Amino acid sequence: MIDEKYIINRIRRLCEKKNMSMYALSKRSGISQSSLSNLMKRGSIPSFFTLDKICDGLGITLAQFFSNDQEIPDITEEQKKVLQVWDSLTDRQKQAVEIYVRGMKLE
Same domain, 51 and 97: no
Same domain, 82 and 38: no
Same domain, 79 and 60: no
Query: What pLDDT does 71 receive?
Result: 57
Same domain, 33 and 2: yes
Same domain, 61 and 84: no
Per-residue pLDDT at 1 exceeds 60: no
**CB neighbour list of residue 86: distance below 8 Å, 6 or more residues apart:** 94, 97
The predicted model scores a pTM of 0.64
Domain total in the chain:
2
- Which residues constitute the domain of residue 84? 75-107
The C-alpha atoms of residue 64 and residue 81 are separated, in whole angstroms, by 15
Averaged confidence pLDDT in the chain? 86
Label residue 47 exposed, middle or buried (CB < 10 Å: 0-12, 13-18, 19+).
exposed
Per-residue pLDDT at 13 exceeds 70: yes
pLDDT in tens, 39-70: 999 887 889 999 999 999 998 888 888 887 65
Same domain, 46 and 12: yes
The C-alpha atoms of residue 40 and residue 11 are separated, in whole angstroms, by 9
Query: What pLDDT does 8 receive?
Result: 92
Mean pLDDT for 75-84 is 80
